[in-house]
Chain A
């Protein structure tokens, strides 16, 4: 079996798993405890904060640990909205966002907030001027993802950040950096972001931990109350092993980014070229997209059927983001970039990790040919 679902969850590095184990055994004390063991645990969290801050090019005090990117996104969006109701009740996001952003906005909408969903072009890219045109005096927050988790399109974040602030400097800019970090250059400062979410388990760290960069001076309404953890922003006993090991993964992803891209980009390009030559497939990813995601459709056939067929041939792929793959509806993202319902139902996502080799891609190519052939025969038989 070859695993092609790194964008959903990447297998942890051995050293990450070791860190988790050692910390679970050695530093079980509650970081909030007054005694020395507690102080040691607290010191470890502070060190983890420094490591993450250095990798993101920000200040340690601007890093907040959460339980994952879903919480980071929820905290960024609802936390900003609830904090700054005095500025207005308008939010801007895109049709492309991850459900944790998209549905947070829908929730606010149901509470009386106005939400503008900016549409991407057919490559899945939103135009900075269209985002800026939607910004108003009462726009509290703009949330745009770095790399789309389904099709891998990349948003021009620095331009968007600049354009938003030029219209309303008080509007906060949130970036969901989950699929971009470690793959593409740029951090919160480069994008002019006030808020930036990350998830270590997408970069071979542990799950159960997330990061939210909160630019100094930005206030958020805490979603979890009950203690002064994380600067009063998120109550709850810190997940120390995951926080420290997550910091390690963040550091490693930042350090290895160049190497990762130079290894993976040729593999992705090779797969893209291969897919272009199969008439049954239509590509949903472009050369300009992120280096680790390839998405295509087999119109007329449900993506999950294709995925199961590929699994029988030894390839573990996903249909789109894992967070929505069990839904029977067509992909919201594919519809937003103008694909028809057929194509939007039949999507397959291949996501690369740093362990993939050219031989793996060759095997995948053979499996894809085999799957098409098998499905053709089956379709013929059913007719």
Chain B
């Protein structure tokens, strides 16, 4: 489930390309729903190429072509490789469907790719336009002969070549490409429903969000903050994390839940070692109510088995019972190092490690239980005066904001700060 880094992988053929060919991921196996997936896909691609006004999209069955018209291939490739549902991208050279043009372009294409000595090679030509005078087999020879003659470094291997030059002859244009750069894959965002995700300021939950989105799940984030015990900066950090995530989804909804009252109510019960369990259950209950309100059908967390006290199997059992919704834990079986690697690649890591106290480290007991007892926990909760109301109050006081990749959105409760700003100063 690693995100790819196309900037590193793309050969120099991007300089030569006038189109990008986008191939779709596993959802192409779907039957009747396919056009819904493809249309969602097209919408996301459109959003990504928006900053490049000269680029033009052509949708075909099972693929999308992006005509560059002078826009930078490398940048677009990097942006599009992040679009969920795209499995691979090829930089394509388009020429007139004439043999000499095709051969000439093929030579220059290989020149740009600059294969190392010993590279095995084959041409894979496809004649889509049946009036073209040479058949596919014939074309393989007509193109490969001059290429092999010019590039002595190449030798032929028709079964498993290291370099496969592909030629597609169509009525108006012939396409030449040889690189297939892996993209992020998965499902187009939103095609697998919606979930609420518990977003802390840590490393794991943003990765869980990205992983969920990659499976086509639309994610709304829930963050719990404990002002004045935690700072404005800590909350801003989560908004910034949501902003990084929104690069993959276009926008993201973030529910900021004031958690101080709930959290301090646990502090008075004299059972310090249970606080973490109680707190996590309260978070799930609040997230569940938000999910019901927003029409989300699952809750996602960044839990990873055994990482901390609340992520032992007994803890997950007791905590998970606080909700009836499916609890999705995309990172549950991953090692920390793998999670860190993804966080770095999706761009959340540097933010996540900023040192602000969040509500999970607040009032943290010396020895939180790793093996809570469900009956005891339920008993404690039932004895807390006004517990249900307090949770409902937290839900009601949640501030919802919409975060976009290039915006500078702030939560509504900061609006009074901004009200000191006089617009005529700017």
Residues of A that sit less than 8 Å from B by CB: 15, 19, 22-23, 27, 34, 36, 39-40, 43-44, 46-51, 53, 59-61, 162, 165-166, 169, 189, 192, 217, 244-245, 247-248, 251
The 7 closest A-B CB pairs, nearest first, are A60-B408, A59-B406, A19-B425, A51-B426, A40-B420, A43-B417, A50-B408
Q: Is B15 an interface residue (CB 8 A)?
A: yes
Return the CB mask of B307-347 against A: 1 if under 8 Å, else 0.
00000000000000000000000000000000000000001
Which residues of A have CB within 8 Å of B418?
43, 47
Q: Given A40-B417, A244-B425, verify A192-B72 contact (CB < 8 Å).
A: yes
Q: Is B34 an interface residue (CB 8 A)?
A: no
Which residues of A have CB within 8 Å of B72?
162, 165, 192
Most chain A CB within a 10 A radius of its CB, from B408, B410, B424? B408
Instruction: Specify the chain A residue showing the minimal Cβ separation from B7.
Output: A169
Return the CB mask of B394-410 against A: 1 if under 8 Å, else 0.
00000000000111101
Which residues of A have CB within 8 Å of B414?
43
Q: Is B74 an interface residue (CB 8 A)?
A: yes
Which residues of A have CB within 8 Å of B51?
189
Q: Is B36 an interface residue (CB 8 A)?
A: no
Say how far A145's CB is from chain B's closest CB, in angstroms.
22
Q: How many A-B residue pairs have CB under 8 A?
A: 53
Instruction: Specify the chain A residue showing the minimal Cβ separation from B74.
Output: A169
Q: Given A46-B408, A50-B408, A169-B74, verify A39-B426 contact (CB < 8 Å).
A: no
Q: Is B421 an interface residue (CB 8 A)?
A: yes
Verify A47–B421 contact, CB threshold 8 A: yes
Say how far B58's CB is from chain A's closest CB, in angstroms.
24
Instruction: Specify the chain A residue showing the minimal Cβ separation from B247.
Output: A216
Cα-based distance from A60 to B72 in the complex (angstroms): 23
Verify B425–A22 contact, CB threshold 8 A: yes
Say how far A194's CB is from chain B's closest CB, in angstroms.
12
Cα-based distance from A61 to B417 in the complex (angstroms): 20
Which residues of B have CB within 8 Å of A251?
426
Q: Is B141 an interface residue (CB 8 A)?
A: no
Tell me which residues from 1 to 33 in chain B have a Cβ below 8 Å from any Cβ of chain A. 7, 15
Which residues of B have CB within 8 Å of A192?
72
Cα-based distance from A247 to B406 in the complex (angstroms): 18
Verify B74–A39 contact, CB threshold 8 A: no
Q: Could you show 9 A-B contacts with beta carbons less than 8 Å apart? A: A22-B422, A39-B417, A43-B421, A44-B420, A44-B425, A51-B426, A59-B406, A245-B425, A248-B425
Verify B420–A43 contact, CB threshold 8 A: yes
Q: Is B59 an interface residue (CB 8 A)?
A: no
Instruction: Specify the chain B residue showing the minimal Cβ separation from A192.
Output: B72
Cα-based distance from A162 to B425 in the complex (angstroms): 37
Cα-based distance from A34 to B232 in the complex (angstroms): 9
Given A39-B232, A59-B405, list of 9 further CB < 8 A pairs?
A: A34-B231, A36-B417, A43-B418, A47-B418, A51-B426, A60-B406, A165-B74, A169-B7, A169-B74
Which residues of B have CB within 8 Å of A49?
408
Tell me which residues from 218 to 260 in chain B have a Cβ below 8 Å from any Cβ of chain A. 231-232
Q: Given A39-B232, A247-B426, A248-B426, verify A44-B74 contact (CB < 8 Å).
A: no
Verify A244–B417 contact, CB threshold 8 A: no
Q: Given A39-B232, A244-B426, A247-B426, verify A44-B421 contact (CB < 8 Å).
A: yes
Which residues of B have CB within 8 Å of A23?
425
Which residues of A have CB within 8 Å of B232?
39
Instruction: Specify the chain B residue showing the minimal Cβ separation from A41.
Output: B420
Which residues of B have CB within 8 Å of A46?
408, 410
Say how far B385's CB is from chain A's closest CB, in angstroms.
33
Which residues of A have CB within 8 Å of B417?
36, 39-40, 43
Which residues of B have CB within 8 Å of A43?
414, 417-418, 420-421
Instruction: Specify the chain B residue showing the minimal Cβ separation from A219.
Output: B350
Which residues of A have CB within 8 Å of B405?
59
Which residues of B have CB within 8 Å of A27?
420
Which residues of B have CB within 8 Å of A217?
347
Cα-based distance from A244 to B422 in the complex (angstroms): 11
Which residues of B have CB within 8 Å of A165?
72, 74
Which residues of B have CB within 8 Å of A15?
424
Instruction: Specify the chain A residue showing the minimal Cβ separation from B16.
Output: A166
Most chain A CB within a 10 A radius of its CB, from B7, B231, B347, B424? B424
Which residues of A have CB within 8 Å of B7?
169
Which residues of B have CB within 8 Å of A60?
406-408
Instruction: Specify the chain B residue showing the minimal Cβ separation from A47.
Output: B421
Which residues of A have CB within 8 Å of B407?
60
Cα-based distance from A49 to B424 in the complex (angstroms): 15
Say how far A270's CB is from chain B's closest CB, in angstroms.
35
Cα-based distance from A89 to B238 in the complex (angstroms): 37
Cα-based distance from A244 to B15 in the complex (angstroms): 42
Say how far B9's CB is from chain A's closest CB, in angstroms.
13
Say how far A48's CB is from chain B's closest CB, in angstroms.
7
Cα-based distance from A254 to B407 in the complex (angstroms): 20
Say how far B336's CB is from chain A's closest CB, in angstroms.
25
Say how far B51's CB is from chain A's closest CB, in angstroms.
8
Partner of B15, one of A47, A51, A166, A248: A166
Which residues of B have CB within 8 Å of A50?
408
Say how far B140's CB is from chain A's closest CB, in angstroms.
31
Instruction: Specify the chain A residue showing the minimal Cβ separation from B414.
Output: A43
Instruction: Specify the chain A residue showing the minimal Cβ separation from B232.
Output: A39
Cα-based distance from A40 to B422 in the complex (angstroms): 11
Cα-based distance from A192 to B76 in the complex (angstroms): 13
Instruction: Specify the chain B residue showing the minimal Cβ separation from A228.
Output: B354
Instruction: Specify the chain A residue showing the minimal Cβ separation from B423.
Output: A47
Say how far B121's CB is from chain A's closest CB, in angstroms.
25
Say how far B354's CB is from chain A's closest CB, in angstroms.
9
Cα-based distance from A46 to B239 in the complex (angstroms): 14
Verify A47–B426 contact, CB threshold 8 A: yes
Cα-based distance from A15 to B418 in the complex (angstroms): 21
Cα-based distance from A39 to B424 in the complex (angstroms): 20
Cα-based distance from A36 to B408 in the complex (angstroms): 20
Most chain B CB within a 10 A radius of its CB, from A34, A49, A166, A251? A166
Cα-based distance from A247 to B347 in the complex (angstroms): 29
Most chain B CB within a 10 A radius of its CB, from A15, A36, A44? A44
Cα-based distance from A48 to B407 in the complex (angstroms): 14
Instruction: Specify the chain A residue showing the minimal Cβ separation from B406.
Output: A59
Cα-based distance from A53 to B408 in the complex (angstroms): 10
Which residues of A have CB within 8 Å of B422?
22
Say how far A233's CB is from chain B's closest CB, in angstroms.
13
Instruction: Specify the chain A residue showing the minimal Cβ separation from B51.
Output: A189
Which residues of A have CB within 8 Å of B421?
43-44, 47
Which residues of B have CB within 8 Å of A19?
425-426
Say how far A162's CB is from chain B's closest CB, in angstroms.
7
Say how far A190's CB is from chain B's closest CB, in angstroms.
11
Which residues of A have CB within 8 Å of B426?
19, 47-48, 51, 244, 247-248, 251
Return the CB mask of B185-222 against A: 1 if under 8 Å, else 0.
00000000000000000000000000000000000000
Cα-based distance from A34 to B414 in the complex (angstroms): 14
Instruction: Specify the chain A residue showing the minimal Cβ separation from B425.
Output: A19
Which residues of B have CB within 8 Å of A245?
425
Which residues of B have CB within 8 Å of A244?
425-426
